Amino acid sequence: MKFSKLLFALFLFMSLPVFAQKTISHKVVNGESVYSIAKKYNVSEEEIFELNPKAKGLLQLDMVLSIPKISKKKTEEKKTKFIPKGASHKVESGESLYTIAKKYDTSIEKLREANPQLDSDNLQLGELLALPKGVKNQSEEKLSKAESKKIAKLQNKLQKHSVASGESFYVIAKKYNVSIEELKKVNPQVENDKLDVKDVVFIPGTENAATVAEKKKTREEKKREIENSKADNSATVTIENNDVSSDAVSGIHEVMPKETKYGISKRYGISIAELERLNPQIVNGLDVGQRLAIKETVKNGDVKTVVDEVLATDDAKDVASASGANDMKASVEVLPLSADAAMKADFLITKASENLGVRYRGGGTDRNGFDCSGLMFTTFKNIDMTLPRSSSDMAANSGVKIDKSQAQKGDLIFFGTRGRWVGHVGMITEVLEDEIKFIHSSTSSGVIISSTKEPYYAKRFVQINRVLN
């Protein structure tokens, strides 16, 4: 018994210096309270009560209190007030580490290394993330004076929106039915994606009343000119019989900041070579504000018509071509995703990516495990769209089958893992020049992102379906 008491006393004696190193002593003076003492040392009242249980009653004059040197409150405040030193990104609604890494062409691992304050992959709306070294945010990509002038000229034609409390690019894009990417392109003046109340942003695809009236007047004048030209038989229309190859220009695209020839050609379903043939001035590069002709073939049996006149409309993406003597109809083609559908596609990719690493489970539709169609079924439920429950049914009954060259984010991609029959499905996350990336649940690795360049999937590709309107 004596030995155990001696041991306890020795332990207490040795622990006192350690405890003293972590605390400081404070003698209570007249008029002080636990609240005022906590405020003085920038600690919480709970921390004082934890070390001094007697302080919960009335404080006695000259009472000695132990105050923690390292406060949990200070540590939490430091974590909350993390301010990146270099390039940074402000988290918007629906964003994840995956979408942010993809946006800046970096990896999730590098993002985590640059942000040691992150306890998990769950991001808070408005949170600032440091970007890895060498990665620049959009505000650091300085535009030339010429580009700045063209953007300013473009902004003068667009509708203005005054930012309200709590609004972000995501909220504004959804309100006006445009994509976040398009919204940011016409608002390069917004630094670090940070919007403040009463800031003014410009809405792509909209025009103020004066511009609309001016454009309408110009369109009507051009229409009258063409009609008069037809009456005088002076329109530039060439009709050739038999097997003659002629193209009819039926669209105009205005180049936005940071757009590429590859991106524009993909958007309209044409090749870069065709785009350059129609617009030889862009062979050496694009300029912001340039108006480009977009090709659409016009057919009527063996007769093809070339019309040199292009009419302007309210939307630069929907430009009508004047027809020749015969009433001809354009061949039906799948249009690019609308702004709303593109925004839905980004949202679906984000939701599906939250399940990366989840194991494969036959018949599974939750984070306990997914099969391939189960992952698609659950993902599209987020936008209230119910897909069939099997990959073969999805291929046959969901959306419309499209050509591989017209693939876009959010489309379903199918593979024949059972001979000629569809047995596997994924959702397209990225379309490159000669490669398509897709997210799916594989039997061997669970939910992952794969590529059509992988030999296994290259041999088994069957079709692509457009399910987003």
Give the integer Cα–Cα distance in Å for 185 and 365.
37
> For every residue of 245-314, which 3-state class applies, written as one string?
CCCEEEEEEECCCCCCHHHHHHHHCCCHHHHHHHCHHHCCCCCCCCEEEEEECEEECCEEEEECCECCCC
The helix or strand, by DSSP H or E, that contains position 162, with its residue range, turns out to be strand 159-162
Total Cβ atoms within 10 A of residue 257: 19
Amino acid at 261: K
Q: Where are the beta strands (DSSP E) in 364-445?
A: 365-366, 369-370, 400-402, 412-415, 424-431, 436-442
Tokens linked to 259: 């757009």
Q: Look at the alpha carbons of 356, 438, 107, 286 in this order and tell me if their dihedral is positive or negative.
A: negative
**Residue whose pair of structure tokens reads 């489970």 in the numeric block:** 361
Closest CA to 289 of 165, 156, 92, 390: 156
Burial 234-251 (b: 16+ CB within 10 A, else e): ebebeeeeeeeeeebbbb
Task: Give dist(CA 60, CA 31) in Å, integer.
Answer: 10
Place of tokens 């006695």: 60
For 178, half-sphere exposure in the C-beta direction (CA atoms, 13 angstrom radius) is 17
Torsion of CA 18, 19, 23, 27, to 10 degrees: -130
How far is Cα 150 from Cα 261, in angstroms, rounded to an integer?
Answer: 19
Residue 288: count other Cβ atoms within 10 Å of its Cβ: 21
Token pair 């089958």 in the structure block, residue: 401
CA–CA separation, 162 vs 174, rounded Å? 15
Long-range contacts, stretch 372-379, CB < 8 angstroms, 24+ apart: 372/424, 372/425, 372/426, 372/440, 372/441, 372/442, 373/425, 374/441, 375/439, 375/440, 375/441, 375/447, 376/412, 376/425, 376/426, 376/427, 379/348, 379/351, 379/352, 379/427
Tell me, yes or no, if 161 is annotated catalytic: no
Q: Which of 89, 161, 253, 424 is catalytic?
A: 424
Active site residue 26: no
Q: Which two three-digit tokens encode residue 171?
A: 């909220």
Catalytic residues: 372, 424, 440
